[in-house]
A and B are shown apart, each in its own frame.
Chain A
Amino acid sequence: MTGGYWDRFGRSRSLCHRLPPALKLLLTVAVVTAGLCVPVRFWPVHGVLAAAVFAGHTLARIPMSYLARRVGLFLPVVAMLSLSVPISQGFAAGWTIMAAILFRSSLSFLSVLWLVNVMPFEQLLVTLRRFRAPAVFVAMLAFMYRYSFVVWDELDKMRTARRARSCCGGMRFRWRQSIQLIGMLLVRAMGRAERVHGAMCSRGWDGQVRFLPDSRECE
């Protein structure tokens, strides 16, 4: 994950990206809620919502290939989950519920995907602060986001090392390897957290969470 962001398209300058962050969040929640509240038999409403979501993606210049890949990964999981309803009824009932779940969750997934790709994470942190989220929680979220990249890089290196040193082995061996990988990662991460805390203390950390003014944080 070296030198990149997870929200790949979050930092362009389209019309959607320039909307106020709070509006983007509220729009997404509104679309998801509307899709959830409108019964399936009013399907034209869902059609309009889907069209709006696709229009949003187009305006934000999010490539269709990216959307197709994400939906392709998402659909099998939801299909399995929703299929469990008719399966558990011996295939006698639950088909309309399954269809409703599939349709609504795809629509919601696409709208959240829009939000993810038009709102960089640091903007989200500022928005959460504006919505009066507890400062400690936002600080932890910022901390987690920052160190996800570090831990991810570490995991990547350890995986490379593992590949370089092992070629074969049964399932038991691979499970043990993966468990040790997570265990080592945990030991290192906690060690790093302690060092970071030491560094914070040496810079005068007193338990008070402080934020920069919005304008500087957004840029």
Chain B
Amino acid sequence: MHIPDGVLSPQVSLATGALALGAVGYSLYRLRDRIAERTIPMTGMMAALIFAGQMVNFPVPFLGAPVSGHLIGGVLAAAVLGPWAGCLAIALVLVVQCLLFADGGILALGANVLNMGVVGAWGGFAVLDVLRRSLGGGFRGTLAGVVAASWLCVMAASALFCLEFWLTLRFDPSPDAAKINMSNVLALMAVFHSVIGIGEAIITGGVVSFVIAHRPDLVTVDAEANGPARRSVAGAGRFIAVGLIAATAVAAFVAPFASQWDDGLVAVSEQEFKARASQESQTFVFADYEVPQPFGDGAPSPLWQRVSVSLAGVTGVFVVMLAAWLFDRGLRRRLKAGGAT
């Protein structure tokens, strides 16, 4: 998930670095009145926890290969600490991973903080807060919010990476860069990340439901502890953030259809485009991910291939909703059995 150096151009690295610096600075500014409180130990400890939690492997069945996934943690940090300290916690994790393990690039640090910290904590908290309020603020709302926010944030982060990569290609003068069809890259990323997002949603949902069962005060809305964090994202800002997150996630699905989107990148002649389209239908890569065509025979039509990419995504949404429902049921059973102690 970490972007290494060498992927993004210096201009994009500089711009994302400035944005990330601004976001971290703003988070620190919002926390200025609470420094004397528990902010420093809680944030540092949360960062240490996410850092350790990322080392816990989750086995993933992938053609029999020993593939495993792990927690990302942006939404988890935001659910426990609120958006500002959550963003700082993820930034700390990324700084340590970069400067202690060489994991993730030093110039790409800004892009990583932006994609995981800012989108994960700020955006994730906004989604979580809106859903929590609309569902009544209880355990069920919190859980549904966390699960939805985790999935949406992974999708939004992948869309944001594609935007950064697209900008990088615009600065790249080589002829190969001009040939890249960006909507295909976006579609591939969306397919991969809709699966990664399901894993993240299950892990974050599970951890939060565990925490609710054992220390409900850590994640539920407590007027005193979470008061400033709640108030801080009230009003227009929250809805803008939710809108942005939802829009980037939706864009990932609409992208396969919007193949004219990248035509500003390079003026492709119609013939070239046709040649490429016919080539695509022969060697299209989503053969393994697409939903099989229900009618006709032989090679699937290009339109169906695009539909199937989005279908795969929509299926992902339903799986996530199902996961949220299952967690909710399991949690209520546990609360009934043992009481929320």
Contact = CB atoms under 8 A, between A and B. Distances in A.
Interface string B306-324: 0000000000000000000
Contacts of A22: none
Interface in B51-71: 51-53, 55-59, 61, 71
Interface in B227-282: 276, 279-280, 282
| Interface of A: prevailing SS | helix
Nearest to A205: B36
Interface residues of B, number: 81
B48 A150 contact: yes
A49 interface: no
A56 interface: no
A91 B211 contact: no
A189 B49 contact: yes
B153 interface: no
Contact of B188 (A87, A112, A205, A207): A87
B13 A92 contact: no
A179 B45 contact: no
A90 interface: yes
Contact of B51 (A82, A144, A171): A144
B6 A105 contact: yes
A183 B179 contact: no
Given A94-B176, A121-B100, A151-B49, A186 B211 contact: yes
A89 B207 contact: no
Given A151-B49, A179-B207, A185-B52, A139 B40 contact: yes
A116 B6 contact: no
Contact of A197 (B42, B279, B282): B42
Contact of B180 (A97, A150, A194): A97
Interface of B: 4-7, 9-10, 13, 24-25, 28, 31, 35-38, 40-49, 51-53, 55-59, 61, 71, 76, 80, 88, 92-93, 95-96, 98-102, 105-107, 169, 172-174, 176-177, 179-181, 184-185, 187-189, 192, 202-203, 206-207, 210-211, 214-215, 218, 276, 279-280, 282-285
Interface of A: 6-7, 28-29, 32-33, 35-37, 39-40, 70, 74, 78, 81-82, 84-85, 87-97, 100-109, 112-113, 115-116, 119, 121, 124, 134, 136-137, 139-148, 150-152, 154-155, 171, 174-176, 178-187, 189-194, 196-197, 200, 205-207, 209
